[in-house]
């Protein structure tokens, strides 16, 4: 990969990683589900009027959008109920592990032994995080974010089912689905929506536009641009930087502290993600070591 393109990949992961701290700041004056509905509204309008609808059925588009409804409502509520933004960025990356598991059932794509090992290591790290009550105030909040990671993993399976379509168009039109269900869900479960709009702070508005235009539209467009030019196994591993930037920006902007238990769990989860992401290279290295004559080892 060219150096300038690697910088673009790092820039995208910086946007995605820092978005969690920005969400936390902007959500202080907003009901969480209502905040999520505004994010998708600003991501789809007015772009949906300038981008042609992708060649997928309306039912597929509905499935794609409703998966986002589940994912983001769980994530935003989990963060509102006490899940730190830095840890949220890490737990959400376990979507990679869930995607591997779901691929076996939905696509009959079974992971190899090394990937299974990576999944088990990653999930053990998540189990360790769940025991660290000094990192978050509610186990419910942790489970909500873990549920969001599951649906994040499911979104990759749905995208794969879409076939050869314009992914940016799928994203923009898919973002047109969540606002109404999320707003209806907000009206049923939350209050203060009108007050949140009329008393919106600068950071509240910045949070919505940052996560929608930068975190959703621009970052996804750049990521798709990279995937068209390079193999997925060269681009996707950059995703591992998301929790790094997430934890770092949460510390800088929110002064979030990482406990010793959480730090150990982060290393364990990160190790599992590394094994899953680089399993082919690890296999190749192991085979080379096995075949190498003793005199060269």
First vs last C-alpha separation in the chain: 30
The per-residue pLDDT for 164 is 79
Mean pLDDT per block of 10 residues along the chain (297 residues) reads 82 91 87 92 89 89 92 93 88 84 78 81 84 79 92 85 82 91 93 87 88 89 80 71 86 85 84 78 70 57
Q: Residue 90: its pLDDT value, please?
A: 85
Whole-structure pTM value: 0.85
């Amino acid at each position: 990969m060219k150096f300038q393109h690697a910088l673009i990949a790092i820039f995208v992961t910086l946007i995605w990683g820092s978005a969690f701290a920005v969400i936390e700041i902007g959500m202080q004056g907003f009901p969480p589900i209502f905040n999520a509905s505004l994010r998708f509204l600003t991501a789809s309008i007015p772009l949906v009027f300038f981008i042609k609808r992708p060649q997928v059925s309306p039912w597929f588009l509905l499935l794609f959008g409703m998966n986002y409804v589940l994912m983001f409502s769980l994530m935003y509520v989990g963060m509102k109920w006490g899940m730190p933004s830095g840890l949220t960025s890490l737990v959400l990356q376990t979507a990679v592990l869930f995607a591997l598991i779901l691929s076996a059932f939905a696509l009959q794509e079974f992971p190899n032994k090394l990937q299974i090992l990576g999944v088990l290591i990653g999930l053990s790290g998540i189990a360790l995080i769940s025991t660290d009550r000094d990192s978050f105030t509610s186990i419910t909040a942790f489970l909500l974010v873990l549920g969001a990671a599951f649906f994040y993993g499911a979104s990759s399976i749905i995208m794969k089912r879409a076939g050869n379509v314009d992914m940016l168009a799928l994203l923009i039109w898919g973002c047109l689905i969540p606002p109404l269900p999320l707003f209806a869900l907000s009206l049923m479960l939350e209050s203060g929506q009108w007050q949140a709009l009329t008393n919106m702070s600068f950071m509240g508005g910045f949070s919505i536009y940052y996560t929608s235009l930068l975190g959703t539209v621009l970052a996804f467009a750049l990521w798709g641009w990279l995937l068209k030019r390079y193999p997925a196994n060269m681009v996707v591993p950059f995703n591992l930087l998301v929790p790094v930037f997430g934890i770092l920006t949460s510390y800088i902007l929110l002064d979030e502290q990482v406990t010793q238990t959480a730090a150990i769990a982060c290393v364990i989860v990160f190790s599992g993600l590394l094994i899953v992401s680089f399993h082919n290279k690890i296999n190749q290295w192991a085979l080379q070591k096995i075949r190498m004559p003793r005199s060269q080892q």
